[in-house]
Chains A and B, each alone.
Chain A
Amino acid sequence: MIAIEGLTKTYGSEIAVDNVSMVVEGGALTVIVGASGAGKSTLMRMVNRLVEPTSGRVLIDGEDAAGLPVHELRRRIGYVIQNHGLFPHRTVAQNIATVPTLLGWDRRRIAARVEELLQLFQLDPTTFAGRHPHELSGGQQQRVGVARALAAEPKLLLMDEPFGALDPLVRAKAQDDLKAIQRQLSTTIILVTHDMEEATRLGDRIAVMDGGKLIQYAPPAEILVHPATPFVAALIGVGDRPFRLLSLETVAQVVEPGEAEGKPIAADADLRDVLAELLWSRRAAAPVAGRDGRLIGRVTLARLIERAGTPT
């Protein structure tokens, strides 16, 4: 659990982060979202003290982050940035081994960990371990960047626009992978982005920042349905609101008994994709198939429409 208490950062007379307090639950993926200059990166960088707070404090599992030598603190916290920041003169394996090496792990343990992480991120060790970063695609670099951050098994991972440099197709895949890996390792993640779509897609909770202040901190559905201020509403985009809301739920949550015509829809598809599919195939309902392929009921357009508006 990360408790941020009254964090403020000022540069001269300029206030970058203004008295922010929030609690990040252990094992949750929290997204800090806002326009550029909103103070979201500064807030995150105060957690691993890349920026020292002007006032306020950060408690990590009850321990004040300011009480530790800064290098020890950072070695316990994973850190991923937009352009990956891989060391160009080191191989993929050496990059991933950075923090374990700093921590003085023995060689065999490091090698085993590097291999494990390469497997986890679907990078074949025999092919990739010896390559240099410039020999990788953008998506591969991004995965190496995350693998490097996770190398010393940190309980907390900070990510600053980690998908910003990826093209849309690769980005969607990387987001799904991150979500899967987070569930598997139950790492606490704080992720900074300017993209509300990414925030609703990934976040267990979303913190919206504007002008250095924390405007709203809530689960995505609540942010979408009850934006705290007109600014938050604008950030969501009124036109996209119903679709974003739909994207938070899966078919399994709205399946009802009955039959329908046409190609079945997978139970774990999100409602936004289902709506698109129904509109495109001009159907009012579609059969729903479970993971094993058996039909478990149907989903109707009427039900989707009901889920897409504000709860009354």
Chain B
Amino acid sequence: MADSVARTAPIARLGLDKLGVVVAALLAIGAASPFALFRANRIVAGDAKLFFEALPAPAAALFAMVVFTTAGVALSKTPARARLATAIVFVIAMAGLLAIAADHLTPPDGRFARVAPATGFWALAFAGSILFADSVVRLKLGPLARLLALALGAAAFALALWSGLWSELSILKEYANRADVFWREAGAHLVLAIGSLAAAMAIGLPLGVLIARKRGLRAPVLNTLNAIQTIPSIALFGILIGPLGWISGHVPGAAALGIHGIGAAPAFLALFLYSLLPMAANTVIGLDQAPRDVVDAADGMGMTSRQRLFSVEVPLALPVILTGVRIVLVQNIGMATIAALIGGGGFGVFVFAGLGQTAPDLILLGALPTVLLAFAAAIVLDATIELVTGARP
């Protein structure tokens, strides 16, 4: 007994949860840092408020209690269900408290006043999401349960937005001023990210199959795609201006299709080119992984090479190919932000406009949806991969 106690890590010896220590530390930092930022208008420097300044007294007391309890649960060795429940309560409480802070700090006639979450809030949100993600992992939720959880979370978030809970927050004031543009750019962002993924699948999958069959082509093709990946996106946009501009001017109908040296076309093309490597490489790796004797059996039983590909090799490679799709989709959702630099639209429009106007809230209006979208895409594809692999070892 004494031996085993002596050998365990110091944290465990105290009966503490290792990850809980990190969460608690983040909670402490978050609570000690400014909770909200008050500004008289959207571009002046802000006035950071600690939680007891940002919140009315009863809410501040609630804040302290919630943070303290959550830290306690995170630190002690509590069951995963209790940790998950705590994380959910914590996130809901912080969402509500942020709304209260916005109401509390905004003066009655403060049409131009802005209240935004400050470093403390983000640290707390980070702590909450770590606790949440960790307890979900510990609960070993199945893929369908994870999809359901995502749907519930998204619905709750949408409901909170729709109910006007956070309407006093600066980011939503930015949104309210440009709701039309927001949804237009959201559409453009999705078209860029998902459209370029679809194009990359249409070209990358057959290319992967081809270089899996013709070993001699493998190195040149993969090296070329690899070289494309190393070109910085802005440089790639620059490279594409010339050829696309020429096509726009010389190929009949190209300009009518929206192909120009700048705009959505080069952004789409750049995202597509970046996506080719993960698609093709994962297809090759997946196909290579098919066990030799399985392929030999398929041949020996008289499958044609097409039958072998579609009924044996591709199904066996599917999890790896889907991993490629996941990489590409998450990467494209993030990278589509850059498209705004050359007039390609997307959430990047707000990010770059915000940078130009030194309006942090506007930057967030572009950045937050991008992050949430990438996060949701990762969860959906991970669950899909698990569902596809489910029946196998």
Contact = CB atoms under 8 A, between A and B. Distances in A.
Contact of B312 (A70, A72, A87, A149): A87
Contacts of A75: 301-302
Given A87-B312, A132-B392, A102 B302 contact: yes
Nearest to A79: B300
Interface residues of A, number: 28
A74 B301 contact: yes
Contacts of A74: 299-302
Interface residues of B, number: 20
Given A50-B296, A82-B293, A84-B293, A89 B392 contact: yes
B227 interface: no
Contacts of A81: 293, 296-297, 300
Interface in B153-190: none
A72 B302 CA distance: 7
Contacts of B312: 87
A178 interface: no
Interface string B337-362: 00000000000000000000000000
A72 B312 CA distance: 19
Most buried by A among B298, B301, B304, B391: B301
A134 B291 CA distance: 14
A89 B314 CA distance: 11
Contacts of A99: 301-302
Interface of B is mostly: helix
B294 interface: yes
A182 interface: no
A134 B392 CA distance: 7
Contacts of B300: 48, 50, 74, 79, 81, 85, 158
Contacts of B291: 83, 85, 88
A122 B300 CA distance: 25
A88 B301 contact: no
Interface string A26-60: 00000000000000000000001010000000000
B46 interface: no
B392 A88 contact: yes
A149 B391 CA distance: 24
A89 B316 CA distance: 7
Contacts of A98: 301, 303
B308 to A, nearest CB: 10
A99 B294 CA distance: 14
Residue of B291, B293, B296, B297 with most partner-chain A CB within 10 A: B297
Nearest to B393: A134
Contacts of A89: 315-316, 391-392
A75 B392 CA distance: 27
Nearest to B295: A85
Interface string A88-127: 1100000000110010000000000000000000000000
A73 B293 contact: no
A83 B393 CA distance: 17
A105 to B, nearest CB: 14
A76 B301 CA distance: 8
A213 to B, nearest CB: 25
A189 interface: no
A102 B296 CA distance: 16
A86 interface: yes
B293 A83 contact: yes
A163 to B, nearest CB: 15
B293 A132 contact: no
20 contacts: A50-B296, A70-B302, A71-B303, A71-B304, A79-B297, A79-B300, A79-B301, A81-B296, A81-B300, A82-B293, A83-B291, A83-B293, A84-B297, A85-B300, A87-B312, A98-B301, A102-B302, A134-B392, A134-B393, A149-B301
Given A74-B302, A89-B392, 14 more contacts: A73-B302, A74-B300, A79-B297, A81-B297, A83-B293, A85-B291, A85-B293, A85-B297, A87-B294, A87-B298, A89-B315, A102-B303, A134-B393, A145-B297
| Nearest 10 Cβ contacts at the A-B interface | A85-B297, A74-B302, A79-B300, A75-B302, A85-B293, A134-B393, A83-B293, A71-B302, A89-B315, A85-B294
Interface of B: 291, 293-304, 307, 312, 315-316, 391-393
Interface of A: 48, 50, 70-76, 79, 81-89, 98-99, 102, 132, 134, 145, 148-149, 158
